[in-house]
Amino acid sequence: MKKRIIILLVLIVHLTNGLAAGKSVLSLFTDRDVYVSGETLLAKIYLPSDNLSRIVYLDMVNEQGIRISGVSLEIKKNQADGYLQLPDSLSSGSYLVRAYLKHTAHQLKVIREIKISNRFDGLEKMNQMNRVECSSVVQTRNTAKIEIANVSPVYSAGSQIHADVEINRDLLDSIDGDLFVSIAQMDPSFESVAFFEKSSSAESGLVEKKGIVISGTVLNRKTKKPTSGITVYFVVPDSIPGFQYYKTQSDGRFYFMLDKYCGSVDAFVECFREIPTEPLTIKLDELYAESGSLPRYNKQQITEELRNSILRNVDAVTFQKVFNQPKLRFHDVGKQAPDSYPYYGEVSCTVDPQLFVDLPDFTEVSRELLHGVKFRNYNNEPTMQVFNNPMRNYFDEMPLVLLDGIPIRDLNIIKGMGSTDIDRVDICLSERFYGNLRFPGVVAIYSTKKDYSRLTESDQLIHLKFETVQVPYSLEVSENLDSNIPDLRQVIYWNPTVTKNSKILVDCRASSVIGLYKLVVRGRLIDGTLISTEKQLEVK
């Protein structure tokens, strides 16, 4: 009896662990397995059902673990999709595409091996290639409950493809979230699998519940030790600049969150020392995960079929570039409505120097136009004071001085700015507060060029130019391509967010690139099981 109970308990634990593993699945799929340098890689990621993060990272490293590119993707319905642009200069060989969450990147990543052939010195010139040895493979179950109908085995180039995807009602109720459907070129002699990189590391980062987290440490430049009590600013310049601040604790750490931005942004991180003689430096954390442990490789012969397929694709990609055929269409996400006032509040007055006579420098601009602002330049040591309207006298301290929304302490940066260099000046003639920060007046200068060339990077001022959440996209369709030019797409259908339905219609046009293609339907069940159905076709 006792033995039966033990066996039953073991089975229950095993079943529970199996379901937990299923529900915590992290999986990654790419549109193809073999690419040509200069192409675009499309990816679909499934996230754990209990995931709390809004951001997932997709990047690519080479066999040595050196990162080639990376993007941040927004998670919706525990899924995400995005793309990586493959540099034209990439050498031929094996690469690893990885997906992971920042707070668990040290414990778990899902990785997919791809091959890239350089357009000018490709894989077709090699006899062998490296293949990844992997044991913890992400399992996908083929299901007969998704049927792909009305697909011909052969299509002529440019002909119309109409396919019906029919899903069994029992299965439909078990599908979690969206499906994704793709038709892309394939080669039977090379098919990659996704596998896990797991670690028992206890290290973990912040859960990015609302957006991308930018973090780092303020150190004493001489001692290399963390410094507490330092105010760190994070600014995204704009007509109304985005602004955050953080006061470091004993560990010297700071954290900022980007939750309102999409695409490429300029940002500045800077710290100010209360003790002028204390040398400080900012050390930013890497946005992407480290290379971690790399898989082992073994040699495999390159088949004649793969060699011929690569040659065709190299020609197709080359002509795509000649004809400037876009692969993706980017969607306008719209700009979030700005706040009514900048973070320093409603201004006392705004001055446009270009409406007046031309003035050569900031001394003349302030004297003639900026009433309530006292700017003096004695012995090349400029000072500034702002009139305190409520108290009817000047503040003793220097006001908050901004150049294009970026706080500055060194007034030599602006002293040479004349009226032609300045778009507008916002002035606050009273004490202002932002959180725990106190500003004895504000002078916000907005330049005409907005190229930040007057700001010099240093240990205490870092200029970042990086991609925030990737801009939404869709695959460019053949109907939008010039009919007089051959259609050279290797991916002819890609829809990563198909609403589940008992019947799904797939309409597209075959490209001019001959070869084998694969129509794939993928999804995930509520218990975490990955499912797929596929059908092969040929374009002649």
pLDDT digits (tens, 9 = 90+) for 323-349: 888 889 998 876 655 567 889 999 999
Average pLDDT of span 443-453: 93
CA-CA distance, 438 to 242, in Å (whole number)? 18
Answer with the one of 427, 460, 493 that is the final residue of a domain. 460
354 with 325, same domain: the answer is: no
Q: Lowest-confidence range among 129-143, 247-261, 475-489?
A: 475-489
165 with 182, same domain: the answer is: yes
Kind plus residue range of the DSSP H or E element containing 2: helix 2-23
User: Which amino acid, residue 455?
Assistant: L
189 with 237, same domain: the answer is: no
Can you give the pTM of this predicted structure? Answer: 0.90
**Contact call for residues 435 and 245 (beta carbons, < 8 A):** yes
Under the banding of pLDDT at 50, 70 and 90, the label for residue 232 is: very high
CA-CA distance, 487 to 158, in Å (whole number)? 7
- Give the range with max mean pLDDT: 129-133, 178-182, 320-324, 453-457: 178-182
The domain tally of the chain equals 3
**Contact call for residues 33 and 186 (beta carbons, < 8 A):** yes
275 with 300, same domain: the answer is: no
Sign of the C-alpha dihedral, residues 199, 200, 201, 206? positive
Higher pLDDT, 119 or 350: 350
Give domain status of residue 342, yes or no.
no
483 with 450, same domain: the answer is: no
Answer with the one of 437, 460, 483 that is the final residue of a domain. 460
49 with 171, same domain: the answer is: yes
Give domain status of residue 302, yes or no.
yes
Sheet containing 160-167: give its strands across: 146-149, 160-167, 503-509
User: What letter would DSSP give residue 470?
Assistant: P
48 with 182, same domain: the answer is: yes
253 with 395, same domain: the answer is: no
298 with 256, same domain: the answer is: no
371 with 394, same domain: the answer is: yes
pLDDT of residue 201: 74
Give domain status of residue 343, yes or no.
no
For 170-179, write each residue's pLDDT tens digit.
999 999 999 9
Give domain status of residue 386, yes or no.
yes
pLDDT of residue 325: 82
490 with 424, same domain: the answer is: no
Domain span including residue 440:
349-460
169 with 187, same domain: the answer is: yes
We report the CATH number of the domain holding residue 403 as: 2.170.130.10
For 212-229, write each residue's pLDDT tens digit.
999 999 999 999 999 999
Average pLDDT of span 297-324: 87
pLDDT of residue 17: 41
Average pLDDT of span 314-324: 86
